[in-house]
Amino acid sequence: MKQGWRWYGDADAITLKEIRQAGVTDIVAALYERRPGEVWPVAEIRARAKKVKDAGMTWSVVESVPVHEDIKKRTGDYLKYVANYKQTLRNLAKCGIRTVCYNFMPVLDWTRSNLTYALADGSTCLEYNEYELAGFDLFYLKRPGAEKEYDAKTRARAKKTWAKLDKKGRKRVADSVLCGLPGTVDDLTPAEFLAQLKTYDGIDDRKLRENMYWFLNEISPVLEETGVDMCIHPDDPPHPIFGLPRILSNAKDIAEMYRRCPSRHVGLTLCTGSLGGDPRNDAVEIMKKFGKRVFFCHFRNLEYTDDKVFHESQCHLCGQTNIPKLFEEFLKEEKRRGEGIVVRPDHGRYLEIDRELARLKGKDCYCGYSYGGRLIGLAELRGLEIGLKYARKGK
């Protein structure tokens, strides 16, 4: 395992020195100041890579080069944006960066309903509650047509859940969806969000898939030429939300993408937390089946408190996904390849130490990307790796 860590550049409250001292060798970063669709200039990529190198690590994975909404919809200036995307890939390869994470989720990136879900020990983590989200959709956003998309049981539960929330609670859900999460390109007002959703009228599941396969096949010659591996991040949560199709949510979607996009450089970010948002997903099987084209991993875990309600686990190894078993498959794949794969501890709880750090620094970490919580996550993964290798060799 190559020990990775997501770094948000100079704006990040966590410094490269602190990251290195966590045992990290590989930085996962992006040119966050560049808007979707822009070309990333070589000089800017170099400058960021140099900063990481000077701190004793390597910038080896980009997360993300965002795909412009016009490409997802295949409208407007999509051809220009695809040409720009190719240029960015060439520029990254010129700087030695050949692993690119991205997603194909329309409008919203990952989505949560509560960014400060309190655990028994007072630390907090991120929660997803389908009924709060449906309540927000039906009774706050009042999205036209939403009624038809939820079954009667979900509608009834959403109504009850929403009625129980006070003003602050409702605002918490709205803010969690529309702003606040890193990855979100722009914070949105409810009206802006509704307007963006409307631009997807007529783009159903089938169309969005076709657009994605088209995009990947279009950039494939550049992948062959540069050796860049594209690893798609699974939908989070892995099912349609707000009437938007989600097309990379399970093993079937992955298989179909591989079939339609045959380049060996079209692969996957194995994100156990995102996949775990559907209890039917089996991340171990996914690693077994699709491991050859897994180029990057996010390991974390979930705990369900109810049907369709989950939060991120106390421990990265315990919960919905059998991480030790998955890790065995992961080690097999590394062995087969003869090289390490970058893993980042995905998200982490917000601990007392993180509160203290924010106070001392006058700057807080990005939501889900605390120092303390991820430090524990990485240490757990490292311990698991050493333990499994030891058990294998018996010494």
List residues near ligand DNO by CB under 6 A.
63-64, 101-103, 109-110, 183, 233, 298, 368
Q: Is 315:272 a contact under the CB 8 Å cutoff? A: no
**Which tokens sit at 272?**
């156990």
Contacts of 237 (CB under 8 A, 6+ apart): 111, 128, 130, 246, 274, 277, 278
- Closer residue to ligand DNO (CB): 135 or 348: 348
68 classed as catalytic: no
Choose, from 265, 298, 311, 316, the residue flagged as catalytic.
Answer: 298
Task: Tell me the closest approach of the beta carbon of residue 120 to ligand DNO, in angstroms.
Answer: 24
- Give the torsion sign (CA, 161, 165, 170, 173): negative
Using the structure block, give the residue that is written with the tokens 């609670």: 169
> DSSP alpha helices (H): ranges in the chain?
16-21, 42-54, 69-73, 78-94, 130-135, 152-164, 167-178, 190-198, 205-226, 251-260, 272-275, 283-290, 323-337, 352-361, 371-393
Angstrom CA distances, 382 to 16, 22, 151, 316, 378, stand at 19, 11, 43, 11, 6
Q: Is 297 noted as a catalytic residue in this protein? A: no
Active site residue 271: yes
Nearer to ligand DNO, 231 or 317 (CB): 231
Determine contact, residues 301/272, Cβ cutoff 8 Å: yes
User: Which one of 128, 347, 350, 365 is the catalytic residue?
Assistant: 347
38 versus 109: smaller Cβ distance to ligand DNO: 109
Longest pairwise C-alpha distance within the chain:
63
CB of 111 to ligand DNO, least distance (A): 10
The residue whose Cβ lies closest to ligand DNO is 183
3-state secondary structure of 244: strand
Question: Which alpha helices (DSSP H) does 298-351 contain, by range?
Answer: 323-337
Least distance (Å) from ligand DNO to the CB of residue 64? 3
Concerning whether 186 is annotated as a catalytic residue, the answer is no
**Nearest to ligand DNO of 16, 101 (CB atom):** 101
Cβ nearer to ligand DNO, comparing 28 with 146: 28
Nearest distance, CB of residue 139 and ligand DNO, angstroms: 27
Q: Determine which one of 26, 70, 137, 346 is catalytic.
A: 346
Closest distance to ligand DNO from the beta carbon of 101 (Å): 5
Of these residues, 261, 271, 365, 367, which one is catalytic? 271
Alpha-carbon span 88 to 236, nearest angstrom:
25
Candidates 81, 85, 101, 233; catalytic one = 233
CB of residue 368 vs ligand DNO: minimum separation in angstroms?
6
Rounded to whole angstroms, the Cα distance separating 229 from 263 reads 10
Residue 157 or 347: the one with the smaller Cβ distance to ligand DNO is 347
- From edge to edge, which strands make up the β-sheet containing 302-306? 114-118, 124-129, 309-312, 302-306
- 176 phi and psi angles, rounded to 5 deg: -65, -35
Active site residues: 233, 271, 298, 346-347, 369
